[in-house]
Structure 1
Amino acid sequence: MIHPEAAIHPQALVDGVAIGARTVVWQFATVILGTRIGEDCSVGASAVLSGPRFGNRCKISSGVVMGPGFWVGDDVFVGPNVVLANDMWPEVSTEGYDDARLRGGKRFAVVIEDGVSIGANAVVLPGVRVGKGSVIAAGAVVDRNVPDGFLFRRNGYLSEVPQDRRQKRMRLVDQC
Structure 2
Amino acid sequence: MTESSFFVHPLAEVEEHVQIGDKTRIWRHAHIRSYASIGAECNIGKGVYVETHVRIGSRVKIQNNASLFEGVSIEDGVFIGPHVCFTNDMYPRAITPDGRLKGAEDWEVTPTLVKYGASIGAGAVIVCGVTIGEFALIGAGSVVTRDVPPHTLVLGNPARPRGYVCRCARPLREIRESEAGRIGHCERCGDITF
TM-score by length of 1: 0.84
Q: Which amino acid aligns with 1:70?
A: V
Tell me if structure 1 keeps the 8 A contact 2:87–2:128: yes
How far apart are the structure 1 equivalents of 2:150 and 2:4? Answer: 35
Instruction: Give the counterpart of 1:64 among 58, 63, 66.
Output: 66
How far apart are the structure 1 equivalents of 2:11 and 2:107? Answer: 32
How far apart are the structure 2 equivalents of 1:21 and 1:78? Answer: 20
Aligned to 2:44: 43
How far apart are the structure 2 equivalents of 1:124 and 1:56? Answer: 21
Deviation string 1:115-138 (CA, Å, 9 cap, x unpaired) is 000000000001100000100000
TM-score by length of 2: 0.76
Aligned to 1:76: 78
Deviation string 1:29-75 (CA, Å, 9 cap, x unpaired) is 11112111000001000111112111000001100011210110000
The CA deviation at 1:22 is 0.3
- Aligned-pair identity (%): 33
Q: Which amino acid aligns with 1:13?
A: E
Instruction: Give the counterpart of 2:125 among 123, 128, 132.
Output: 123
How far apart are the structure 1 equivalents of 2:51 and 2:107? Answer: 16
The CA deviation at 1:109 is 1.4
Alignment of 1:4-153 (within 5 A): 4-16=4-16, 17-51=18-52, 52-93=54-95, 94=102, 96-98=106-108, 109-153=111-155
Instruction: Give the counterpart of 1:161 among 153, 161, 164.
Output: 164
CA 1:154–1:114: 2 relative to 1, 3 Å: same
Q: Secondary structure at the match of 1:158?
A: strand
Q: Secondary structure at the match of 2:113?
A: strand
Tell me if structure 1 keeps the 8 A contact 2:136–2:165: no
For structure 1, the residue ranges without an aligned partner over 5 or more in a row are: 103-107, 168-176
How far apart are the structure 1 equivalents of 2:6 and 2:160? Answer: 39
Q: Which amino acid aligns with 2:78?
A: V
Q: Secondary structure at the match of 2:32?
A: strand
- Computing the radius of gyration from Cα coordinates, the structure with the larger value is 2
Tell me if structure 1 keeps the 8 A contact 2:135–2:165: no
CA 1:160–1:166: 2 relative to 1, 3 Å: closer
Deviation string 1:71-117 (CA, Å, 9 cap, x unpaired) is 1000000000000000112111237424xxx5xxxxx6110000000
Taking only aligned residues, the RMSD between alpha carbons, in angstroms, comes to 1.8
The CA deviation at 1:165 is 4.1
Q: Which amino acid aligns with 1:152?
A: V
Q: Which amino acid aligns with 1:129?
A: T
Greater strand content:
2
